[in-house]
Chain A
Amino acid sequence: MDNREQMNIVIVGHVDHGKSTVIGRLLADTGSLPEGKLESVKEYCRKNSRPFEYAFLLDALKDEQAQGITIDTARCFFKTNKRDYIIIDAPGHIEFLKNMVTGASRAEAALLVIDANEGIKENSKRHGHIVSMLGIKQVVVLVNKMDLVDFNKDVYKSITEEFTEFLSKINIKPINFIPISAFNGDNIADKSCLTSWYDGPTVLAQLDSFENRKEDIQLPFRMPVQDIYKFTEENDHRRIVAGTILSGTIKAGDEVVFLPSKKKSVVNSIEGFNVVPTDKAAAGQAIGLTLKTQIYIKAGELMVRADEVQPVLSSRFRVNIFWVGKFPLIKNKNYKLKIGTLRITVKLAEILNIIDAAELNINTVKNQVERHDVAECILETVKPIAFDPISQMETTGRFVIVDNYEISGGGIILEGVSEKGDTLHSQISEKEFLWEQGLVSPNMREDLYGHKGIFVVLTSGNEEYVQSIHQNGKELEYKLFKSNHITCYLGIPSAETPLASGDRDSQILQIGELAEIFTNAGQIFITSVFNLDDYEAEKLKLLIRNHEVRIINIGESPFNNFIPDAHIKDSDNERIVDSLYDLLKSKK
């Protein structure tokens, strides 16, 4: 089998700064062109009285795509003695920024091309920014078209200084600046005698000195849970937690924690198909594993090892974002955040600054993030998420934001920030401040109805109770109603789906808002939510803090730390309803 190393490289730069010429040169100088290609393009130019340019090679290759040659402008293949390269040509036009991001995100190293004659342009900086956010550490700047400035050392020096200063602001330390003329082939494959003042490597030598990204085996174990499989219909009784390991290692017997639920278990086995059975796995592998105890976890949780450094848990965090959406990123709108395998509702809470890539001015007055802006912001999710700050680990602090079906932005988390003054708290106080009460006080209602407004939430951690807790809720309502209580049951069936995604959060909020209205009106409002977690329970208590809330757990508890108001261990439905009824009566 071919075990040659492979490396993806992205080439970025402003329009007309010479990316195509650099690629054409690299292909030609490494002998990676189809036989006769170079000659035929040269011949074509001669016949049409046009000066030959290496950039034409790419156009010519593009024409050949229809005939099935495996080269296209988006990805060019070439080989050196050391390894195989794929050059990803990222479009220079700003309209193609999202294509550039798509291409660049798969690269291990970046070549940033700057025209020595024209100097640093808006896109040179913007691309630098994005390369930095994408986490590409190996960056080399090619100062191109040195022939147009007579291979002047000072021009090279001033570009090097200016750009180094800019890049340092965005945490990029370029490995090198190489003065080249892609057009003439200076310092591409061979050292140029016209730059005797430059003693660094050629572009090709530089590429070969890049290091392939190491799988992060040394780092703490992180695996976003992608799904939980049970193929019982086919007589397979394994309950398999599936995911791809981002970093670290895991083995059978390791104690693991799922975040943000904080549920714990021990790895029982590593599962696979058509592989030699093994009891360990490491970064990069798409695996499945079974657990020793049957805990109820959801897709989207981050699985970590109990004995290693734990990630941050926070619902507010400071981020750097680049925005490629058609519509601007605005405050107080619900977006979907995708981080690892988690999808969760997110809001833009604050814009700290927007960096104008063109002028490098820091703009702190703009109140929305527009297309192609790079901004530092505070984001807020509806409940805490698990992540590692980008300075600690790269893979668990990256996210994208979905706006109206489209991935509209991406970013990195710099740190978690204090949750004080989050939007939920301020919304609640605002509401309390704004809303006007009527002439009927809660006491007057209680006197008439014979009971207070109460919010009752039934939940369970037992998978087999998914349906029955709803039934319990309905029967409780019926029993209360029959004994002259003012009561109402409302359940949201989809809120209990075992693998519920971001929608569940808005449903919890909705339940909370409804509960507030009903309890305000003096009713006993009953709902049932399967597998409520600590955050959800606390949020409900917070939302209805002026009224009585009873969170009652039936069977196994879904909570980690949260203490419910009552546990009912019974499994007989009738007895459950009776105990619920008694519970409410006794506290009245």
Chain B
Amino acid sequence: MNHLDKLEAQSVYILREAYREFKNICMLWSIGKDSTVLLWLARKAFFGHVPIPLVHIDTHYKIPEMIKYRDELALKWKLTMVYGENSEALAHKNTFPDGKTDRITCCQQLKSEALKNTLSGEWNRYIMDHATGKYVLDKNREKYTGVIVGVRADEEGSRSKERYFSPRDKENDWDVGDQPPEFWNQFKTDFAPGTHIRIHPLLDWTELNIWEYIERENIPITSLYFDQGNGKRYRSLGCYPCTSPVESTARNVSEIIDELKSGKFANIAERSGREQDKDDGGGLETLRRGGYM
């Protein structure tokens, strides 16, 4: 088995473990390359099926192609597709693009808050009706107690401290200093009522592994990652007011791999196009302690 085979087998093991242990489980899908690889790994784990609902937090500032791609794939792969949002903040225009908040607060409002209340079922969730391809109000308001997330340890410092099965308490707080031990592929799957677990099957993957796997498996990926015809492409996807494309002429996956291995991005951090990471020193860790992905 080569390195990718091993990574794949380990992620499949974790996904199956999560599916077995948690009654109300969901998988977050940000539409980006990592969570799309995660989705593909779920199809591997469950032999072509995805028996776990996918949850997307729609900030309504996502690049429109992302939403289009999300819904196309949901229909094609017969996914149980659910989205949630912070409708109140959006209605009152309490957002950074509207000039009413800073970037971090905007993230907290549109992502962290929306996520927390979508997972708990306190706010409305919308589910895709496969007959029409349109979203309808999801009648199921049950709390998701296990949440599968595609974070990688190599993305940034706070993510490198994660466990595969990482508990969050009632307030969504993450106690970084006191995490459960994990060894011999035994994870924390027992938890007190009120808490939930974040499951991270991609923890050991690097950005390069992700692209190599996309190439090997021929996973369909949104075209925003490729040169948009103007010598620019997205290296990381997010909300359009805060995510800028990078200068790159890579037109396909293998050109991206070259760029990462020996080309211009070999020594430049992946999230360098993300503005909210730069706003204060530990911006992302602050966000993540509060429930951000």
Q: A6: which B residues are within 8 A, CB to CB? A: 3
Question: Are A105 and B184 interface neighbours, CB within 8 A?
Answer: yes
Interface residues of B in 1-22 (CB under 8 A from A): 1-6, 8-10, 12-13, 16-17, 19-20
Question: Are A229 and B47 interface neighbours, CB within 8 A?
Answer: yes
Interface residues of A in 331-381 (CB under 8 A from B): 336, 338, 341
Determine whether B252 belongs to the interface, using a CB cutoff of 8 Å to chain A: no
Residue of A with least CB distance to B8? A286
Q: B19: which A residues are within 8 A, CB to CB? A: 227
CA–CA, A105 and B155, complex, Å: 23
Interface residues of B in 43-96 (CB under 8 A from A): 43-49, 51, 78
Question: Are B153 and A75 interface neighbours, CB within 8 A?
Answer: yes
Q: A70: which B residues are within 8 A, CB to CB? A: 154-155, 206, 269
Residue of A with least CB distance to B206? A70
Question: Are B181 and A98 interface neighbours, CB within 8 A?
Answer: yes
Question: Are A227 and B277 interface neighbours, CB within 8 A?
Answer: no
Determine whether A437 belongs to the interface, using a CB cutoff of 8 Å to chain B: no
Given known A99-B181, A244-B9, contact A226–B16 (CB-CB < 8 A)? yes
Interface residues of A in 368-421 (CB under 8 A from B): 398-400, 402, 405-407, 410
Q: A407: which B residues are within 8 A, CB to CB? A: 180-182, 186-188
B265-292 interface code vs A (CB 8 A; 1 in, 0 out): 0010111100001000111110000000
Residue of B with least CB distance to A74? B160
Residue pairs across A and B with CB atoms within 8 Å: the count is 147
Which listed residue (A35, A65, A215, A286) contacts B156, Cβ 8 A?
A65
25 A-B contact pairs sorted by A residue (CB < 8 Å): A1-B216, A4-B3, A65-B157, A66-B282, A66-B285, A68-B277, A70-B269, A105-B182, A106-B183, A227-B16, A229-B47, A231-B51, A242-B16, A244-B9, A244-B12, A285-B9, A286-B9, A286-B10, A299-B20, A336-B190, A338-B186, A398-B184, A400-B183, A405-B188, A407-B187
Q: A227: which B residues are within 8 A, CB to CB? A: 16, 19-20
| Chain B interface size, under 10 / 10 to 19 / 20 to 34 / 35 or more | 35 or more
Which listed residue (B4, B48, B160, B206) contacts A1, Cβ 8 A?
B4
Which listed residue (B16, B183, B186, B208) contacts A286, Cβ 8 A?
B16
Q: B182: which A residues are within 8 A, CB to CB? A: 102, 105, 407
Given contacts A2-B3, A72-B157, A400-B183, 16 further A-B contacts (CB under 8 A): A66-B157, A99-B179, A102-B179, A104-B183, A236-B49, A274-B217, A284-B5, A285-B9, A286-B8, A286-B10, A286-B12, A400-B186, A405-B188, A405-B190, A405-B192, A407-B186
Q: A286: which B residues are within 8 A, CB to CB? A: 8-10, 12-13, 16, 45
Which listed residue (A74, A105, A402) contacts B190, Cβ 8 A?
A402
Within the complex, the shortest CB–CB distance from A223 to chain B, in Å, comes to: 12
Interface residues of A in 252-306 (CB under 8 A from B): 271-274, 284-286, 288, 299
Which listed residue (B2, B78, B156, B157) contacts A3, Cβ 8 A?
B2
Q: B17: which A residues are within 8 A, CB to CB? A: 226
Residue of A with least CB distance to B160? A72
Interface residues of B in 127-164 (CB under 8 A from A): 153-158, 160-161, 163
CA–CA, A215 and B6, complex, Å: 11
Given known A1-B216, A66-B156, A499-B20, contact A105–B183 (CB-CB < 8 A)? yes
Determine whether B240 belongs to the interface, using a CB cutoff of 8 Å to chain A: no
Q: B155: which A residues are within 8 A, CB to CB? A: 68, 70
Residue of B with least CB distance to A61? B157
What count of chain A residues pass the 8 Å CB interface test?
Answer: 58
Determine whether B259 belongs to the interface, using a CB cutoff of 8 Å to chain A: no
Question: Are A68 and B270 interface neighbours, CB within 8 A?
Answer: yes
B170-200 interface code vs A (CB 8 A; 1 in, 0 out): 0000000001111110111011100000000
Q: Which residues of A contact B (CB under 8 A)?
A: 1-4, 6, 34-35, 62, 65-70, 72, 74-75, 98-99, 101-102, 104-106, 134, 215, 226-227, 229, 231, 234, 236, 238, 240, 242, 244, 271-274, 284-286, 288, 299, 324, 336, 338, 341, 398-400, 402, 405-407, 410, 499
Given known A98-B181, A284-B6, contact A273–B20 (CB-CB < 8 A)? no
CA–CA, A62 and B163, complex, Å: 18
Determine whether B261 belongs to the interface, using a CB cutoff of 8 Å to chain A: yes
Which listed residue (A273, A405, A406) contacts B47, Cβ 8 A?
A273
Q: B282: which A residues are within 8 A, CB to CB? A: 66
Which listed residue (B49, B206, B285) contacts A231, Cβ 8 A?
B49
CA–CA, A1 and B160, complex, Å: 25
The 10 closest A-B pairs by CB, nearest first: A65-B157, A68-B269, A105-B183, A98-B181, A286-B12, A286-B9, A405-B190, A400-B186, A72-B160, A70-B154
CA–CA, A200 and B287, complex, Å: 50
Q: B270: which A residues are within 8 A, CB to CB? A: 68
Question: Are A34 and B267 interface neighbours, CB within 8 A?
Answer: yes
CA–CA, A460 and B212, complex, Å: 49
Question: Are A274 and B47 interface neighbours, CB within 8 A?
Answer: no
Q: B158: which A residues are within 8 A, CB to CB? A: 65
CA–CA, A499 and B20, complex, Å: 9
Residue of B with least CB distance to A227? B20
Residue of A with least CB distance to B164? A102
CA–CA, A240 and B261, complex, Å: 39
